[in-house]
Each structure stands twice: as structure tokens, then as C-alpha cells.
């Protein structure tokens, strides 16, 4: 399972398959990471610095985080894509097709001026999370999406 949690100050990615239940996250920020709650991650429950430190302590990389840089990432169901915006300006896009075999993620692109900030990973996660919630298999034919899902 892949989940994306976002505030204006931090973006957290969670890949449940990598979680070794070492509970370092909970030790570092018990109000943020509560396995008994749904959703189990609440980024508003503690200061961002505490959350960042707790995510960084995750020994398995099940949790990772990036700074959002003021970039908004949204799912555009109708367009079968996720889109990244800097204000009104579109600066990235990830595209998928809904097929009988699953959701095929076939292209990811981010304006080079915004590269290396985790924006493409946010775009991919946005789609993967939606696919998983819909009970669909994700088929990444885009090399970048394949890398995100195999790491
Ligand atoms: C690939 C791309 C979307 C990454 O955007 P980004 O926002 O800079 O990506 P992130 O910050 O989330 O991640 C950067 C990582 O992606 C890796 N990466 C860059 N291009 C990649 C590619 N084509 N395939 C796999 N990984 C790639 C980088 O090496 C870096 O790896 P690291 O985190 O281990 O250092 C962007 O470079 C791009 O638009 N490239 C041109 C289009 C393209 O090749 N798309 C992929 C095939 S459809
Ligand atoms: S620290 Fe990482 S591996 Fe450990 S419980 Fe939290 S998410 Fe899972």
C-alpha cells in the first residue's frame, strides 16, 4: 500500500510493504504516527521538525519525506493524470490509462527547472494511492514510475 500525506510544510510518503514495524516513527512522534487511528498518520498533530526527524529515523525507508516547495499536486480523474502546479503554472504531469488489467502509468514529466524536489514522486504516488483505493493493480510502464514502485 502506498499513501501520500501532505501539508504546506512537509510531504510524507508511506510504502507499507517496506514497513518492518520497528516503531521508530512512533517513538519519534507518537501523536503523528498512531497505528490505532485511521488514517494512522496525522501531520498536523506535532511540529513539522519533529515529524521530519521521526520520518528520517525510519530504518526501512517505508517512510520518506520532502519539502513541498509551495508546489501543489492534484489528481485529475477526468484527464487520467495527476498534475503539479506552481501557483497557476503547470510544472509537471503523470499520465495513466485505466485498462482491464489495471491502471497503466505510462508517462511522468516535470519541468527541469523544478527537478530533484520529489515532485515526480508525488505525482506517481497520487495515482498509485487512487488506484489502490479503487482496488486496481498498478502497471508502471513509465521508467520513472517503475523506479519509484520498485525502490
Ligand atoms: C523523470 C522526471 C519525471 C523526474 O522528475 P523529478 O521531479 O526531478 O523527480 P524526483 O525529484 O521525484 O526524483 C528524482 C530521481 O529520479 C531519477 N530519475 C530521473 N529520470 C529518471 C528516469 N527516466 N527513470 C528513472 N529514474 C529517473 C533521478 O535519478 C533521481 O533519483 P534519486 O532520487 O535516486 O537521486 C524528470 O526528470 C523528467 O521529466 N524527465 C523527462 C521525461 C522522462 O524521462 N520521463 C520518464 C519516462 S516517461
Ligand atoms: S519507523 Fe518505518 S519501519 Fe518502523 S514502524 Fe515506522 S514506518 Fe514502519
Q: Do residue 36 and residue 97 come from a single domain?
A: no
Pick from 66, 85, 117: which residue ends a domain?
66
Dist CA 100 CA 106 (whole Å): 15
Total tally of structural domains belonging to the chain: 2
CATH number (domain holding residue 111): 3.40.630.30
Distance (Å, whole) CA 6 – CA 31: 16
Q: Judge if the upstream peptide bond of residue 28 is cis by omega within 30 degrees of 0.
A: no
Distance of CA 149 from the midpoint of ligand 2 (Å): 18
- pTM across the whole model: 0.95
**Looking at ligand 2, which atom is closest to the CA of residue 33?**
6
The CA distance from 50 to 82, in Å, is 29
Q: Helix, strand, coil % (nearest 5) of the chain?
A: 30, 30, 40
Position 25 scores a pLDDT of: 97
Q: What is the pLDDT of residues 102-115, one digit of tens each?
A: 999 999 999 999 99
Residue 131 is part of which domain span?
72-150
Mean pLDDT of the region 32-53: 97
- Name the residue at shortest CA distance from atom 35 of ligand 1: 116
Amino acid at each position: 500500500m502506498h499513501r501520500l500525506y501532505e501539508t504546506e510544510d512537509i510531504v510524507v510518503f508511506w510504502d507499507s510493504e517496506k514497513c518492518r514495524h520497528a516503531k521508530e516513527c512512533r517513538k519519534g512522534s507518537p501523536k503523528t504516527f498512531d497505528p490505532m487511528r485511521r488514517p494512522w498518520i496525522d501531520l498536523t498533530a506535532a511540529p513539522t521538525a519533529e515529524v521530519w526527524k521521526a520520518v528520517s529515523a525510519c530504518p526501512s525507508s517505508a517512510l520518506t519525506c520532502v519539502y513541498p516547495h509551495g508546489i501543489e499536486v492534484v489528481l485529475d480523474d477526468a484527464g487520467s493524470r495527476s498534475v503539479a502546479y506552481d501557483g497557476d503554472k503547470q510544472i509537471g504531469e503523470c499520465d495513466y490509462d485505466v485498462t482491464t488489467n489495471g491502471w497503466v502509468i505510462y508517462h511522468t514529466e516535470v519541468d527541469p527547472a523544478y527537478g530533484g524536489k520529489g515532485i515526480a514522486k508525488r505525482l506517481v504516488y497520487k495515482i498509485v494511492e487512487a488506484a489502490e483505493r479503487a482496488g486496481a493493480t498498478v502497471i508502471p510502464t513509465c521508467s520513472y514510475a517503475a523506479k519509484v514502485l520498485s525502490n
